[in-house]
């Protein structure tokens, strides 16, 4: 069997909802039935074969070629299988991800992996604002799984994050880890303003000294036994996080946000 491949024929004029093209919904359909499915493109509906050239037959292994930032909701509510995106992806990539794997070779838009529950998302480029966050009006963002971003991320990464790991090899924008209630966000690059704003619990793991608000308390330096175990859990990843030379266990710890419960922590490599 070969991967079920969707090759984009042209860049659509309007945004396209690709949420129907997930492994769980396609596994029982023939290639002709998949080609006849309809996708929303702005106010219109288009058949899949109007936008894509189809090939392959393995619906548990989906490939989207020539992808661009007009393609939204890729991998929405995916439960199992693998989706590989060759190119960029639009907004709401992996929204509500429940299992399986999504790999993107380019950049992704806003709200990637919002309210993700399980699974694995790897982004080789940059991610937009609100990575792993809660949808507007909701108070529970990412609840589990792992996100790896090899580039930079926008503002409010992990907003309302409740569980899981967000690993960022590049820089993070303002309000990273805002309103976290649990989970871990690790940033190898620089972080923006208002880091950990209103976080209640959870861990922000940093390689560079951040600018923190006055509502974070300096708790001194510590050697933490759990950090080597955490880094060992990253060994299987295709990432800088798997390199033992970047691991550490000696940190300066800051507790906060004291304007909230104050049980969160910012751990900075020393």
pLDDT at 179: 97
Q: Does a structural domain hold residue 212?
A: yes
Closest by CA to 269, choosing from 244, 251, 245, is: 251
pLDDT at 6: 98
State the burial class of residue 167 (Cβ atoms within 10 Å of its Cβ: 0-12, 13-18, 19+): buried
Q: Does a structural domain hold residue 92?
A: no
pLDDT at 238: 93
Q: Does a structural domain hold residue 3?
A: no
Q: Does a structural domain hold residue 13?
A: no
pLDDT at 23: 95
Report the number of distinct structural domains present in the chain: 1
Q: Does a structural domain hold residue 87?
A: no
pLDDT at 1: 81
pLDDT tens over the chain, length 270 residues: 899 999 999 999 999 999 999 999 999 999 999 999 999 999 999 999 999 999 999 999 999 999 999 999 999 999 999 999 999 999 999 999 999 999 999 999 999 999 999 999 999 999 999 999 999 999 999 999 999 999 999 999 999 999 999 999 999 999 999 999 999 999 999 999 999 999 999 999 999 999 999 999 999 999 999 999 999 999 999 999 999 999 999 999 999 999 998 899 999 999
The structure tokens listed for 225 are 């036994």
Q: Does a structural domain hold residue 231?
A: yes
Give residues with Cβ within 8 angstroms of 80, minimum separation 6.
23, 24, 60, 99, 100
Task: Specify the pTM.
Answer: 0.96
Q: d(Cα 190, Cα 192) in Å, to the nearest integer?
A: 7
Q: d(Cα 98, Cα 93) in Å, to the nearest integer?
A: 13
pLDDT at 261: 87
Provide the residue range defining the domain that includes 163: 110-269
């Amino acid at each position: 069997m070969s991967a079920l491949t969707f090759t984009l024929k042209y860049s659509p004029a309007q945004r396209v909802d690709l949420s129907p093209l997930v492994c769980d919904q396609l596994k029982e359909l023939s290639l002709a039935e998949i080609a006849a499915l309809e996708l929303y493109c702005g106010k219109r509906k288009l058949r899949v074969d109007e936008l894509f050239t189809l090939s392959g037959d393995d619906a548990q292994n989906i490939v989207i070629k020539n992808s661009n930032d007009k393609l939204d909701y890729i991998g929405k509510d995916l439960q199992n299988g693998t989706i590989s995106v060759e190119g960029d992806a639009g907004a709401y990539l992996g929204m509500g991800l429940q299992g399986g794997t999504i790999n993107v070779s380019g950049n992704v838009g806003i709200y990637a992996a919002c309210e993700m529950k399980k699974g694995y998302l790897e982004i080789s480029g940059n991610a937009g604002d609100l990575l792993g966050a809660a949808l507007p009006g909701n108070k529970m963002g990412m609840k589990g799984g792992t996100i790896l971003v090899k580039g930079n991320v926008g503002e409010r990464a992990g907003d309302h994050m409740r569980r899981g790991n967000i690993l960022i090899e590049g820089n993070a924008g303002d309000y990273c880890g805002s309103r976290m209630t649990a989970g871990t966000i690790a940033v190898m690059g620089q972080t923006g303003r208002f880091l950990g704003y209103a976080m209640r619990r959870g861990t922000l793991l940093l390689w560079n000294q951040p600018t923190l608000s006055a509502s974070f308390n300096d708790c001194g330096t510590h050697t933490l036994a759990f950090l080597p175990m955490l880094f060992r859990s990253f060994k299987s990843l295709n990432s800088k996080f798997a390199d033992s030379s970047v691991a550490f266990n000696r940190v300066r710890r800051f507790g906060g946000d004291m304007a909230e419960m104050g049980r969160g922590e910012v751990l900075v490599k020393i």
